[in-house]
Chains A and B, each alone.
Chain A
Amino acid sequence: GDSVTQMEGPVTLSEEAFLTINCTYTATGYPSLFWYVQYPGEGLQLLLKATKADDKGSNKGFEATYRKETTSFHLEKGSVQVSDSAVYFCALPPNQGAQKLVFGQGTRLTINP
C-alpha cells in the first residue's frame, strides 16, 4: 500500500543552522503532499503542501519541492529558530480519492539557542 518514510529523529540543531528533513513516499499516481507540524501539547498544523509534481510549497521560511522522479518531498529551512522545535510529519492521501491521510512516523526537531 501507499506509504511515507521520514528520516529518523530526533534531530538536534543549533539556532540559525540549515535544516533538512527527508521524506520519501510510495503512491499510486501523483497525490498531493503535505507537511504538518505538531508543537508540544497541541494538534497538527498544516505547514505547507504541494498538489502536483515540481510544485514548491512554502510557509514560515520552510520549503519543500514535490519531486516525482525521486518520489520525495524533503522539508528545508535555511535558518532555524528555537521556536521551530516541534515534531514534523510528512503525509499524503494514500490513493486518488481516498479521503484520509497516511503519515510518516514523525521527526522530532529540537533547536538549541
Chain B
Amino acid sequence: KAGVTQTPRYLIKTRGQQVTLSCSPISGHRSVSWYQQTPGQGLQFLFEYFSETQRNKGNFPGRFSGRQFSNSRSEMNVSTLELGDSALYLCASSLGDSSYGYTFGSGTRLTVV
C-alpha cells in the first residue's frame, strides 16, 4: 500500500516568487492536512481538506492557500515568498477522523533565498 507522496522533495525559490507543493494521500483517505515545521516554531498546522472542502485553517497569512481535488490529491500554494517561509512542509492524510491518527509524507524542504 503506497504511502503519502509529496513532491518535490526539495525546492529553492527566491523571495517574492510563488510556489506550489503537491501531496497524494493514501488511497481511500479523504482528509489531507498540511503542517509547517521550522526549528523555531516547531510543527504548526496550516489547513485541512476533506472531500475538496477546507474544514480547518491555522493561523497563517493569506499568502498560504490550498486546495483538494476530486481524487483527494492536494496542493498548497505560497505566494510572495519570504525568507521566513523556509521550512519543511509536511502533508498528512487520514480517513477523516483525527482519533485514528495521521500518516505523514516525507515532506518538501523549501528554501527561500
Chain A interfacial positions (CB closer than 8 Å to B): 31-32, 34, 36, 42-46, 49, 51, 89, 93, 98-106
B68 CB within 8 Å of chain A: no
Given contact pairs A98-B56, A99-B33, A99-B55, A105 touches B42 in the complex (Cβ within 8 A) = yes
Given contact pairs A99-B48, A100-B33, A100-B48, A44 touches B104 in the complex (Cβ within 8 A) = yes
Chain A residues whose CB sits within 8 angstroms of the CB of B65 once the complex forms: none
Given contact pairs A98-B56, A99-B50, A100-B58, A32 touches B98 in the complex (Cβ within 8 A) = yes
Chain B residues whose CB sits within 8 angstroms of the CB of A103 once the complex forms: 42-43
Q: How large is the interface on B (under 10, 10 to 19, 20 to 34, 35 or more residues)?
A: 20 to 34
Contact of B101 among A42, A46, A98 (CB under 8 A): A46
Given contact pairs A32-B98, A49-B101, A106-B42, A99 touches B106 in the complex (Cβ within 8 A) = no
- The CA-CA distance from A101 to B98 in the complex, in Å, is 8
- The CA-CA distance from A104 to B37 in the complex, in Å, is 12
Chain B interfacial positions (CB closer than 8 Å to A): 4, 6, 31, 33, 42-43, 45, 48, 50, 55-56, 58, 90, 92, 96-107
CB distance from B49 to the nearest CB of A (A): 9
Given contact pairs A89-B43, A100-B48, A44 touches B90 in the complex (Cβ within 8 A) = yes
Docked-complex contact B31 and A99, CB < 8 angstroms: yes
